[in-house]
A and B are shown apart, each in its own frame.
Chain A
Amino acid sequence: MNLSLLIFIPLLTAFVILLCRGEKQVRAAALAGGVAQMLAGFILLVAFWQERETGNTTQMLFQYNHQWFSPLQINYHVGVDGISVAMILLTSFVVLAGILVSWKLEKMSKEFFFLLIFLSIGAYGYFISLDLFTLFFFLEIAVIPKFLLIGIWGSGKKQYSAMKLALMLMGGSAMVFVGLLGLYFNTNAAGGLHSFDLTQIAQMHIPLRVQKLFFPFVFGGFGVFGALFPFHTWVPDGHSSAPTAASMFLAGISMKLGGYGCLRVATYLMPDAAHAYAPVIIVLATIAIIYGAFATMMQTDLKYINAYSSVSHCGFVLLGIAMLTQTSINGAVMQMVSHGLMTALFFAAIGMIYDRMHTRVAAQLGGLLKIMPFISTVFVLAGLCSLGLPGLSGFVAEATVFMGAWQNPDTLYRVATILSCASIVVTAVYILRAVGQAIMGPLKKTDQGNVGDASWNEKFAAVILLAGILAIGVAPFWLYKLISPAAEVVIQHVTNAVIKN
């Protein structure tokens, strides 16, 4: 399968949207594009399986390498392994759901859908990139549309949030940038050409000194995207000010860019440093998990609740990566996928509630189950997934992370694991509190005029995401089979490096 399709389909969609006249055409084009993306995602999955079935064990499949700026050894090099495929599928789910959720948007719908689709180009490109330049290119593509989406269509202190988000994310990518350059100029230290190629760099030995110098840049930079404490502060404001679809994308995919980068670039390419810095990251991730969870507990706005909980949940991703066992990395990737779907669903539900009730403060809502059973059910399910209910994806991911984390016998690691486990209790507290206040209880706002349950598009969006959550939650083995070989490659790399020293 030609991976560039994943870029061209959204590109084409975006272009068509620009040419459309009238809301109806725009929506139709966006929907068609979204469906096409999803189909492409599934085709990729099937093709990937088939290729693996035939015994192709190459690390990256469907590679395509095209010289871009040959004097600088910059190539457009794409390829996927199981982790990328999982992330691509996640993206296609969230994007399609995002399009459906924003179906009724009236204000500048053309621009909105254009930006949304454009954003997905960045995500897809990022996940298929095997060249650090290409990767960085797509990483940055996925920032500015968010700024516009939040700033134009957002709510609350949207301008502040949009700016904060853009600056912090770009700050993260600037750190990544410095790290990547440092890496690049230290490839082939013995002479010969430098390289941005991920697969090539992985074969080389980067001097330990260099790794130790640049690992913090790369990991920290991606960490900003992945809500690494203390760079997580864009998350609450950004998520809560964003329009529904943007929140979904932001939490569902954007934050995953960070985790993916931490794994694919920082850990994979700088294994020695990853090992050396693991305790630091673990401490930070644990802080993010616990402290994020406690901070969530104090929030009153539903979006803030979910945003802070994202900080906490994304801590698991970083924790899993830093624990450096195959299981924990599996868990981290699963957590990325799971959290992506779950949080998107959560935001979708919150958006639907907000559209109808015009408030997101949990205490002002109440008894929604009575007037909008579908949306409430979706909300509850998302919440349950968030608190790690078995049968939904969150449990699978968290359990894997815990299991993997526990395999590190060191005391620090153990304490970190136990503390992180403790967050499941706090999660239960804030989720149930939100559910109790907003969904259950007596009906508080009865004066709303056109309060109805979800419309077809909203139902469709929720069902798509729920399908993903259930597919992972009920039958996680396919996901395991998909990502585990890829995680094994990473962990092999780390182990080899550690043994060598």
Chain B
Amino acid sequence: MSHLSYIVWILLLPLANFALLGLTGRKLLKGISGVIGTSVLLVVAALASMAVYQYFFVYGKLDGIYHLINVLQFEWLKFSPNVSIGMGVALDPISVMMLFIVSVVSLMVHVFSLGYMKGEERFGTYYAFLSLFTFSMLSLVISTNIFQIYIFWELVGISSYLLIGFYYDKPSAVAASKKAFIVTRFADLGFLVGILILSFGAGTLDIHTLIIRLTTVQSPQLLGMTTSSFLGISALTWGLTLVFIGGAGKSAMFPLHVWLPDAMEGPTPISALIHAATMVVAGVYLVARLFPLYSFDVSSLNIVAYVGAISALLPAIIACTQNDIKRVLAYSTISQIGYMMFGLGVSGYSGELGLGYMASMFHLFTHAFFKSLLFLCAGAIIHLVQSNDVKDMGGLRKLMPITHIAFLVGCLSIAGIPPFSGFFSKEEILSAAYQSNKLIYGVGVFTSMLTAFYMFRLYFRIFHSRAQNRELAHGEGSLSMKLPLVVLAVSATLAGFVPFSLFVTPDHAPIEAHVDLIFSIFPVVLSVAAILFAARLYRTQNARPAKIATSLGKIYRFAYRKFYFDEIYLFVSKKIIFNLIGRPAAWIDKHIVDGLMNLLAATTVKISVLIKGFQSGKLQNYAVYFFAGIIGLAALFVYFRQSP
């Protein structure tokens, strides 16, 4: 498709920018690296918008169905005659949507960082890493090949690692970056093995072919994968579940969510981009990309649904107790991604049944805006207050009016208050859940209420509450910091009105979706109640929250300590892996395996000492040995007649 070939530039420009800034950003171009990066991203975002337009309105639709357009395809690494890693650019509704989200949010973050990161020592490097991330994320979403996804999956992982650890001289940042990478790596292991299983079963790595082969009822590949089983579970389910583990790791799903709150050690714009809007939804994207397979295999889809539901609920509870602004947002991110996951999990494949899928993607879309908005607001706040702790804030309403409005928009949106964007996507998810699984629906509604509560808890504590007397180094921030807030706030408000079901559905055929207002009344009322409750508790400083906390006792403490997940992980890694596997391995190597070699040498020396007596220096002894030698030989070979 030559008229779409400019898409390649969307990928190449950030890459080139990374190379340029990576090599020169430290000294040569340090000053203007921000400007370079931002202008490159501006071009990228423009191209992406163009792609959206061209795909959805010009080229994409054929016979009423959005079809897959392979813009570029080449063989990158061949494994065997039919299995190879291809690199390419494939456009379909969700990849185009993701292109748009990633490039726009990335642009916003680039702009915001101009102000936020100003004066940083490694300003150029920061932009280089940002470009690397943008490149990897964009390449991930347009993948044609499941291994291509894996490749860029790892690359976004490493960008995330580098950016979380951007303040490398802070031990906590180093630890967080390490944790983030290792936890996701662990999940990627599942992804990798899943790929191996799927590719072996399907005999291909190409996503499109893979899906066709494994969803055609008569195909030998599908037969092979459903009949061969391990531990009573079919190979297909294993493969899909393992792939989902990869996605769960990246999307910080329960129980692999522990890395995300810590990842907030990175610069706040990074949290907005990577850990809220784009990278963390990669897991959702992965499941969506392979959705035909998942919808075909009910058991793995159920896993997706329940993991999503749990991941929506637990972090929401935790978020109600946390005091670090970014951590609260991080937990809310997990919770929202949980929504998207179970949205997918409850979805069917075709027609109206695909509502969950559509809703999930819709939520991904809206979430990208309002969550990055919230994070950037948080960034602005932190920039001002120089602290992450909510206790240090309060009464900021007057000091930063724009941020205040933007944050409020974000909160309303995430709380699902109409007409903000979050309302539409969330309602659709809930209605999809209601149609297929009442339990999950219940969880969803409860979580939605909690969300409204903790978000407004945050909002009131930051912007209302008591006003602190503080000496401020600077005002609300430069234009570069305010502009993205405004843009995102507007997007977060309006994104809900996009007729999403016309564009993104599992079978790529547009459907008519409508928000059932009657159905929505119940969740919205609950959310509003939660907001009012939060307002009562936190609008002014009072003793009620503390009282409630003590009355909840153990439960509060449990939630406050994040259900002790960190401790469990620490126990497993430090105590079990290090002490029970690593240390013994090192010990065995040093003392047993190596010891054997040394023992061999020592024995040789020992024997040589033992037998030195033969060389006694006494002439007559020598004569005796001489004679004994003859007798011995004679005895062996003459007496016993050793015949040949």
Looking at A109-117, A174-182, A190-198, A427-435, the stretch in contact with chain B turns out to be A427-435
A168 in complex: contacting residue of B196, B199, B597, CB < 8 Å = B597
Asked if residues B155 and A294 are in contact (CB atoms below 8 Å), the reply is no
B196 in complex: contacting residue of A417, A476, A480, CB < 8 Å = A417
In the assembled complex, which residues on chain A have CB atoms less than 8 Å from the CB atom of B181? 428, 432
A432 in complex: contacting residue of B182, B583, B589, CB < 8 Å = B182
The answer, yes or no, to whether A395 is at the interface (CB within 8 Å) is yes
Asked if residues B186 and A233 are in contact (CB atoms below 8 Å), the reply is no
CB distance from B163 to the nearest CB of A (A): 13
Q: Which of A220-252 contact B (CB under 8 A)?
A: 229-230, 232-233, 236-237
In the assembled complex, which residues on chain A have CB atoms less than 8 Å from the CB atom of B586? 294-295, 297-299
The answer, yes or no, to whether B185 is at the interface (CB within 8 Å) is yes
Asked if residues A432 and B158 are in contact (CB atoms below 8 Å), the reply is no
Asked if residues B200 and A407 are in contact (CB atoms below 8 Å), the reply is yes
In the assembled complex, which residues on chain B have CB atoms less than 8 Å from the CB atom of A387? 185
**Complex formed: what's the CA distance from A327 to B77 in Å?**
11
| Closest B residue, CB atoms, query A442 | B169
In the assembled complex, which residues on chain A have CB atoms less than 8 Å from the CB atom of B589? 233, 236, 291, 295, 308
CB distance from B155 to the nearest CB of A (A): 6
In the complex, which range does the number of interface residues on chain B fall in? 35 or more
In the assembled complex, which residues on chain B have CB atoms less than 8 Å from the CB atom of A417? 196
The answer, yes or no, to whether B50 is at the interface (CB within 8 Å) is no
The answer, yes or no, to whether A11 is at the interface (CB within 8 Å) is no
| Closest B residue, CB atoms, query A234 | B597
Assuming the contacts A428-B185, A436-B174, A441-B169, asked whether A298 and B79 have C-beta atoms less than 8 A apart, the reply is no
In the assembled complex, which residues on chain B have CB atoms less than 8 Å from the CB atom of A327? 79-80, 83
In the assembled complex, which residues on chain B have CB atoms less than 8 Å from the CB atom of A167? 601
Asked if residues A294 and B83 are in contact (CB atoms below 8 Å), the reply is no
In the assembled complex, which residues on chain B have CB atoms less than 8 Å from the CB atom of A402? 192, 196
The answer, yes or no, to whether A156 is at the interface (CB within 8 Å) is no
**Complex formed: what's the CA distance from A23 to B199 in Å?**
57
Asked if residues A367 and B182 are in contact (CB atoms below 8 Å), the reply is no
The answer, yes or no, to whether A173 is at the interface (CB within 8 Å) is no
Asked if residues B168 and A298 are in contact (CB atoms below 8 Å), the reply is no
Give the most central of B85, B196, B588, B596: most A CB within 10 Å: B196
CB distance from B370 to the nearest CB of A (A): 32
Looking at B146-154, B390-398, B548-556, the stretch in contact with chain A turns out to be B146-154
In the assembled complex, which residues on chain A have CB atoms less than 8 Å from the CB atom of B171? 441-442
Asked if residues B182 and A428 are in contact (CB atoms below 8 Å), the reply is yes
CB distance from B494 to the nearest CB of A (A): 37
Assuming the contacts A395-B154, A476-B76, asked whether A425 and B168 have C-beta atoms less than 8 A apart, the reply is no
Chain A 414-448: CB-based contact to B (< 8 A → 1; otherwise 0): 00011001101100110011001001111100000
Asked if residues A403 and B189 are in contact (CB atoms below 8 Å), the reply is no
| Closest B residue, CB atoms, query A293 | B585
Asked if residues A233 and B189 are in contact (CB atoms below 8 Å), the reply is no
The answer, yes or no, to whether A477 is at the interface (CB within 8 Å) is yes
Asked if residues A403 and B185 are in contact (CB atoms below 8 Å), the reply is no
Assuming the contacts A233-B589, A295-B585, A327-B80, asked whether A373 and B178 have C-beta atoms less than 8 A apart, the reply is no
In the assembled complex, which residues on chain B have CB atoms less than 8 Å from the CB atom of A186? none
B192 in complex: contacting residue of A424, A442, A475, CB < 8 Å = A424
Q: Which of A353-408 contact B (CB under 8 A)?
A: 367, 369-370, 373, 384, 387-391, 395-396, 399-400, 402-404, 406-407
| Closest A residue, CB atoms, query B187 | A425
Asked if residues B26 and A373 are in contact (CB atoms below 8 Å), the reply is yes
The answer, yes or no, to whether A275 is at the interface (CB within 8 Å) is no
The answer, yes or no, to whether B593 is at the interface (CB within 8 Å) is yes
The answer, yes or no, to whether A164 is at the interface (CB within 8 Å) is yes
Asked if residues A407 and B80 are in contact (CB atoms below 8 Å), the reply is yes
The answer, yes or no, to whether B442 is at the interface (CB within 8 Å) is no
Assuming the contacts A421-B192, A432-B178, A436-B175, asked whether A370 and B169 have C-beta atoms less than 8 A apart, the reply is yes
Asked if residues B77 and A477 are in contact (CB atoms below 8 Å), the reply is yes
Chain B 574-618: CB-based contact to A (< 8 A → 1; otherwise 0): 000110011101101100011011000100000000000000000
**Complex formed: what's the CA distance from A433 to B171 in Å?**
12
CB distance from B383 to the nearest CB of A (A): 23
**Complex formed: what's the CA distance from A476 to B152 in Å?**
16
Assuming the contacts A295-B582, A390-B151, asked whether A403 and B83 have C-beta atoms less than 8 A apart, the reply is yes
The answer, yes or no, to whether A338 is at the interface (CB within 8 Å) is no
CB distance from A410 to the nearest CB of B (A): 13
In the assembled complex, which residues on chain A have CB atoms less than 8 Å from the CB atom of B158? 384, 389
In the assembled complex, which residues on chain B have CB atoms less than 8 Å from the CB atom of A298? 578, 582-583, 585-586
CB distance from B611 to the nearest CB of A (A): 21
Asked if residues B174 and A440 are in contact (CB atoms below 8 Å), the reply is yes
**Complex formed: what's the CA distance from A399 to B589 in Å?**
28
Asked if residues A425 and B169 are in contact (CB atoms below 8 Å), the reply is no
In the assembled complex, which residues on chain B have CB atoms less than 8 Å from the CB atom of A164? 597
CB distance from B156 to the nearest CB of A (A): 10
In the assembled complex, which residues on chain B have CB atoms less than 8 Å from the CB atom of A407? 80, 200
In the assembled complex, which residues on chain A have CB atoms less than 8 Å from the CB atom of B83? 327, 403
Chain B 187-204: CB-based contact to A (< 8 A → 1; otherwise 0): 011001100110110000
In the assembled complex, which residues on chain B have CB atoms less than 8 Å from the CB atom of A294? 581-582, 585-586
The answer, yes or no, to whether B470 is at the interface (CB within 8 Å) is no
CB distance from A52 to the nearest CB of B (A): 16
**Complex formed: what's the CA distance from A480 to B580 in Å?**
40
The answer, yes or no, to whether A102 is at the interface (CB within 8 Å) is no
The answer, yes or no, to whether A75 is at the interface (CB within 8 Å) is no
| Closest A residue, CB atoms, query B161 | A432
Asked if residues A441 and B174 are in contact (CB atoms below 8 Å), the reply is yes
B186 in complex: contacting residue of A388, A389, A425, CB < 8 Å = A425
The answer, yes or no, to whether B3 is at the interface (CB within 8 Å) is no
The answer, yes or no, to whether B63 is at the interface (CB within 8 Å) is no
**Complex formed: what's the CA distance from A439 to B165 in Å?**
11
CB distance from B395 to the nearest CB of A (A): 35
Give the most central of B76, B77, B597: most A CB within 10 Å: B77
The answer, yes or no, to whether A13 is at the interface (CB within 8 Å) is no
The answer, yes or no, to whether B474 is at the interface (CB within 8 Å) is no
The answer, yes or no, to whether B547 is at the interface (CB within 8 Å) is no
B165 in complex: contacting residue of A297, A440, A475, A484, CB < 8 Å = A440
The answer, yes or no, to whether B516 is at the interface (CB within 8 Å) is no
Asked if residues A395 and B168 are in contact (CB atoms below 8 Å), the reply is no
The answer, yes or no, to whether A309 is at the interface (CB within 8 Å) is no
CB distance from A233 to the nearest CB of B (A): 4
Asked if residues A367 and B169 are in contact (CB atoms below 8 Å), the reply is yes
The answer, yes or no, to whether B641 is at the interface (CB within 8 Å) is no
**Complex formed: what's the CA distance from A384 to B158 in Å?**
9
CB distance from B74 to the nearest CB of A (A): 9
The answer, yes or no, to whether A187 is at the interface (CB within 8 Å) is no
In the assembled complex, which residues on chain A have CB atoms less than 8 Å from the CB atom of B175? 436
| Closest A residue, CB atoms, query B597 | A233
Question: 16 additional contacts, CB 8 Å, given A297-B582, A298-B585, A422-B189?
Answer: A237-B594, A291-B589, A295-B586, A298-B586, A330-B79, A384-B158, A395-B154, A402-B196, A403-B199, A432-B182, A436-B177, A436-B178, A440-B168, A440-B169, A440-B174, A442-B171
Identify the 6 closest CB pairs spanning chains A and B, nearest first. A298-B586, A390-B151, A294-B585, A440-B168, A233-B594, A406-B196
Can you name 16 A-B residue pairings with CB atoms under 8 Å? A294-B586, A295-B582, A295-B586, A295-B589, A297-B577, A297-B585, A298-B582, A389-B155, A389-B158, A391-B155, A396-B77, A403-B79, A428-B181, A432-B178, A480-B77, A484-B78
